């Protein structure tokens, strides 16, 4: 096996595909050809550099905490919605019992304050519409603001 044959095994050597016997011959030749040995060393170092680049492991595929929180949004949001609906229901009951809007003092409003052009279901419907359009938590917050403005 001459020098050219040995040098022809460079790809297999760097690719770890030489048989033990050929590998021994190859490395023996490196001791006799310093220029070629330097070439081999530089390519080996490049391979080491490339292989040193790390890739995140299994953790990279885990759902981040905030995303996990987002994914479970229906439960708390539904809980909030249930509380709000209960509050609405209580409001309706209070209205029914009192015959009008309940003032801040708890006393029934005067007949003159009653506004039939704004039926009680209006703001509830607006809230429901806004809520359906915005199912995220921030959307729910916006809906609550709209609700507060509508009922002011």
Contact footprint for other proteins (CB under 8 A): 10-12, 14-15, 17, 38-39, 41-47, 49-57, 59-61
Tell me the closest approach of the beta carbon of residue 72 to other proteins, in angstroms: 21
Q: How far is CA 122 from CA 11, 28, 150, in A?
A: 78, 91, 9
Tell me the closest approach of the beta carbon of residue 138 to other proteins, in angstroms: 22
The torsion angles phi and psi of 115, rounded to 5 degrees, stand at -120, 95
Q: How far is CA 71 from CA 20, 53, 140, in A?
A: 55, 32, 16
**Closer Cβ to other proteins, 45 or 85, answer by number:** 45
**Closer Cβ to other proteins, 14 or 84, answer by number:** 14
3-state helix, strand, coil in the chain (%, to 5): 70, 0, 30
Tell me the closest approach of the beta carbon of residue 30 to other proteins, in angstroms: 12
**Closer Cβ to other proteins, 5 or 113, answer by number:** 5
**Closer Cβ to other proteins, 55 or 107, answer by number:** 55
Note whether 6 and 25 are within 8 A (CB).
yes
Tell me the closest approach of the beta carbon of residue 13 to other proteins, in angstroms: 11
């Amino acid at each position: 096996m001459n020098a050219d044959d040995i040098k022809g095994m460079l790809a297999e050597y760097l690719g770890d595909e030489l048989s033990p016997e050929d590998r021994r011959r190859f490395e023996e030749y490196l001791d006799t050809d310093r220029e070629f040995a330097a070439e081999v060393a530089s390519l080996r170092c490049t391979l080491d550099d490339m292989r040193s680049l790390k890739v995140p492991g299994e953790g990279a595929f885990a759902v981040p905490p905030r995303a996990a929180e987002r994914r479970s949004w229906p439960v708390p949001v539904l809980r909030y919605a249930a509380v709000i609906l209960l509050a609405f229901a209580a409001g309706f009951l209070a209205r029914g019992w009192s015959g009008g809007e309940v003032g801040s003092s708890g006393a029934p409003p005067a007949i003159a304050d009653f506004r039939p052009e704004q039926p009680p279901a209006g703001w509830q419907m607006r809230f429901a519409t806004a809520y359906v359009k915005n199912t995220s938590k921030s959307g729910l917050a916006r809906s609550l603001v709209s609700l507060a403005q509508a009922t002011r």
